[in-house]
Structure 1
Amino acid sequence: MPSAPQRPLFSRGSWPEARRLADVLRQETTGGLLLLVFTVIALVWANVAGDSYEEVRQFHLGPAALHLDLSIEHWAADGLLAIFFFVTGLELKKEFVAGDLRSPRAAALPIAAAVGGMAVPALLFVLVNVLHPDSPEGALVGWATPTATDIAFALGILAVVGSHLPSALRTFLLTLAVVDDLLGITVIAIFYTEQVHWTPLLLALLTLAAFTVAVQRRVRSWWLLVPLALATWALVHASGIHATVAGVLLGLVVPVLRSEEHGGPEAGPGLSEHFEHRWRPLSTGFAVPVFALFSAGVAIGGVSGFTAAVQDPVALGVIAGLVLGKPIGIVGTTWLLARLTRAELDENLRWIDVLGMAMLAGMGFTVSLLIGSLAFGEGTAAGEHVTLGVLVGSLLSAVLAAVVLSRRNRVYRRIEAEERVDADGNGVPDVYER
């Protein structure tokens, strides 16, 4: 009996998925622009009035009795980013429960690409710091810094330079970035947790269970859900595990489909979509930009200071991981999966399209900055160098991806125009040079 035909890689997705992706792109484009603005403000502020920047960043507030007397920088990284990861958890669950990736075969590609896109950058970081004679002691603790992809920046660039690229590529990048973030927060929980306090962790599981029961019963009352979510966040923070983990867990327990008593799965949007509609603007428009404001401020110290900083093995490892490791890992894994499954690219795509998307995944801004700060601490030379490495690596990845994808975008725009003419009966050839 002949085997079923292999589904092409990056085949055209469903119309609901394409419509949902367009909505996400519009919101993330705005978030990406805000992220860029706040990053520039942070750099200017740190280099023009560095003392005031540090005073504001290190200003403490919060109830000391609850061990929440944290600096503004900590509140941004531990608190606001939990909102970002909550939305990430909602997005990931929706992809695998109701999206085009509910099929294991369809989900295998972005998951494998995300794993490859994390493993190779980490390996390059380690190689650079092992082989470099001036590598500082303890540099290898930052191995996970170049492994993440920033959703807001990547999708923002894609919306600007890739308006005519096939929707399957956009879906691939979005899913890759979401899976990437989930793997990143898993790395943080496992490798950057120094000590676990079990009592608050067990209590956090109880409040998380109460939150789960409430949302599974489709409760939308903010006066019940918000206190349970805040309690879960505070207890996870007190346990020693990074508090952003709570955000992901809270997002993953929210139901995607409607229950039978609420009209069944075809009745309309479920609770997950309701929460995403409410919280994504807060995440992209406030939480992530404010985190960038208090994390990206690095005193460069002129041309000489910048040159010395980017020549540090830690910064070089991050730059190599983002600029080279991401595309090598993603394209290599995708090619290997194609060889093993004997799948072909969709007939409308070329491998240069995959390479452009993989380059765009080298924008590791938000989670990379978070991991770098956890690895090297705040106010240290290595911490500033790793931040600068993230900024330079993300910028180079954005420029290279923009060059490749803008060229491909012109090709697809021309093909789309020719297909419209062909639809009017003007006899355009079926084969185009790409």
Structure 2
Amino acid sequence: MLLSRFGAALRRDTVGGFLLIGAAVVALTWANSPWGELYERVREFRFGPESLHLNLPVEAWAADGLLALFFFIVGNELKQEFVHGELRRPRRALLPIVAAVCGALLPAGIFAAINLGQGPAAQGWGIPMATDIAFAIAVLAVVGRFLPPALRTFLLTLAIVDDLVAISVIAVFYTDSLSFGPMLAAAALLGVFGYLQRGRGPAAVLRRWRVASWTVYATLAVVIWALVHASGIHATIAGVAMGLLMRTRPHNGEESSPSHRAEHVLRPWAMGLALPVFALFSAGVVFGDWSSMLTDTVALGVTAGLVVGKLVGIAGGAWLTTKLTRAELDPSLSWTDIVGISQLAGIGFTVSLLISELSYTGHPGMLEHAKSAVLLASLFATVLGAVVLGVRSAHYRTHGIGEHARQVAN
């Protein structure tokens, strides 16, 4: 009974949000304390099979490995929305997708304009492109309990799309080479994963072989993840892909679909373990020399891209899409909600820090300024987005509009 209640609590975004934010605060405090060297040693400790190219530091296991579980939950939830929810309507689905692309391209353009002609500094144009979906969802859960569920779906969709854009940019512009063998093998196994989701025929084969289906899916998931990692693509894409392949309709004789069963079992692990551990080993940015950042074009480009570029790109792109196409905003949302969520999308931790590392290898000063700017910009975006969304949540609560949102969250 106690474990059941604990699992039910962890399925709530609010609980997971507090755990994630708490772990991030611990990471920042630890990294900037007298024990900061110990934090770095723990984060850089490597383990895993070298023969499989999986001898990785703890930080990579957290960001690429454990976080893939969270991305599976996100992909699975999006699949449910595309099949049964508001995103099944093309007019509704188009809006966050176009907004995400605009919200990735404009910050990159702002950074490039600020660093035009600055030599190696210009290499970091991809840093402000991606939204850290884990942190953004956590903040939204904490401050926006009474906001309409459609706003969370909007954030999930745009964050996934702009992460895909940013990861594609990494693959094309920041990766020396892609390994097409593992990539093709991963695609083939994803096809097997999707085929097994069809249910009746594959399920009968597994029963005949006396194999528990969860062992097959778990093994496939691990192998697919390892192959995607070996291909040079960010490994969390494997989680998104498998989530989007989940079957969302139950067959005759099934109480629920595989999609809902997987989410019920895995969400507590994602919210209670994967996200806090990810935050603990990813958010430990050492505070740099803030005064020198005021005139550094790298820091200015990152900050302006994440704080201003995300806001204008997402909100402006969404608004223009409704004017130039037949796309429409969900009737339960207002444009003020979209402004708040656009500002919150300026939180750029994991992928932004990754692109910083790839951009300024051999330039430690630029790298320090880029990382510090990611931290500062994410903090600004969090505060500004939280204020707007907190006010909107209070508005919905006062008018009783958020009751459905509260029921969904619980």
User: Smaller-chain TM-score range?
Assistant: 0.7 to 0.9
1:215 alignment partner AA: Q
| 2:266 is the counterpart of 1:284 | no
Does structure 1 retain, via aligned residues, the 8 Å contact 2:300–2:373? yes
Aligned residue number for residue 304 of structure 2? 320
Match among 226, 231, 234 for residue 218 of structure 2: 226
Percent identical among aligned pairs is: 52
Q: Deviations over 1:84-131 (max 9, x none)?
A: 322232223222222211111111111111111111111112112226
1:85 alignment partner AA: F
| 2:196 is the counterpart of 1:214 | yes
Does structure 1 retain, via aligned residues, the 8 Å contact 2:46–2:55? yes
Alignment of 1:6-17 (within 5 A): none
Q: Deviations over 1:15-53 (max 9, x none)?
A: xxxxxxxx9996332222222222222222222222212
Alpha-carbon distance in structure 1 between the residues aligned to 2:321 and 2:228: 37
Does structure 1 retain, via aligned residues, the 8 Å contact 2:10–2:268? no
Q: Deviations over 1:394-433 (max 9, x none)?
A: 111121122223333343344349xxxxxxxxxxxxxxxx
| 2:347 is the counterpart of 1:360 | no
Aligned residue number for residue 179 of structure 1? 161
Aligned residue number for residue 206 of structure 2? none
Alpha-carbon distance in structure 2 between the residues aligned to 1:80 and 1:91: 18
Q: 1:412 to 1:198 in 2, by over 3 A?
A: closer
Match among 196, 199, 204 for residue 186 of structure 2: 204
2:153 alignment partner AA: T
| 2:19 is the counterpart of 1:34 | yes
Q: 1:380 to 1:329 in 2, by over 3 A?
A: same
Alignment of 1:45-194 (within 5 A): 45-48=30-33, 49-130=35-116, 135=118, 137-194=119-176
Aligned residue number for residue 18 of structure 1? none
**What TM-score does the superposition give when structure 1 sets the normalisation length?**
0.78
Alpha-carbon distance in structure 2 between the residues aligned to 1:236 and 1:87: 18
Does structure 1 retain, via aligned residues, the 8 Å contact 2:75–2:244? yes
Alpha-carbon distance in structure 2 between the residues aligned to 1:58 and 1:25: 29
Alpha-carbon distance in structure 1 between the residues aligned to 2:220 and 2:226: 10
Aligned-pair distance for 1:356? 1.9
Q: 1:343 to 1:94 in 2, by over 3 A?
A: closer
Aligned-pair distance for 1:61? 0.9
1:263 alignment partner AA: N
| 2:404 is the counterpart of 1:404 | no
Does structure 1 retain, via aligned residues, the 8 Å contact 2:81–2:87? yes
Does structure 1 retain, via aligned residues, the 8 Å contact 2:91–2:327? no
- Higher mean alpha-carbon deviation, 345-354 vs 89-98, is at 345-354
Q: 1:88 to 1:414 in 2, by over 3 A?
A: closer
Gaps of 5+ in 1: 1-22, 418-434
Aligned residue number for residue 386 of structure 1? 370
RMSD between aligned residues: 3.1
Q: 1:381 to 1:213 in 2, by over 3 A?
A: farther
| 2:240 is the counterpart of 1:248 | yes
Alpha-carbon distance in structure 1 between the residues aligned to 2:156 and 2:357: 25
Q: Which has the larger radius of gyration?
A: 1
Q: 1:408 to 1:71 in 2, by over 3 A?
A: closer
Q: 1:188 to 1:84 in 2, by over 3 A?
A: farther
Matched length? 384
Q: Deviations over 1:45-80 (max 9, x none)?
A: 222222212221221111122222222122223222
Q: Deviations over 1:130-149 (max 9, x none)?
A: 26xxx4x4333332222222
Q: Deviations over 1:270-321 (max 9, x none)?
A: 21222222223322322232222222222225xxx23324653222222111
Alpha-carbon distance in structure 1 between the residues aligned to 2:225 and 2:123: 26
Aligned-pair distance for 1:195? 0.9
Aligned-pair distance for 1:378? 9.8
Q: 1:320 to 1:295 in 2, by over 3 A?
A: same
Aligned-pair distance for 1:376? 3.8
- Higher mean alpha-carbon deviation, 146-155 vs 35-44, is at 146-155
SS at match of 1:68: coil
Gaps of 5+ in 2: 1-7, 204-211, 402-410
| 2:279 is the counterpart of 1:296 | no
Alpha-carbon distance in structure 2 between the residues aligned to 1:378 and 1:185: 22
1:367 alignment partner AA: V
Alpha-carbon distance in structure 2 between the residues aligned to 1:212 and 1:349: 34
Alpha-carbon distance in structure 2 between the residues aligned to 1:101 and 1:24: 27
SS at match of 1:138: helix
Aligned residue number for residue 231 of structure 2? 239
Higher relative contact order (CA 8 A, sep 6+): 2
Q: 1:242 to 1:377 in 2, by over 3 A?
A: farther
| 2:241 is the counterpart of 1:257 | no
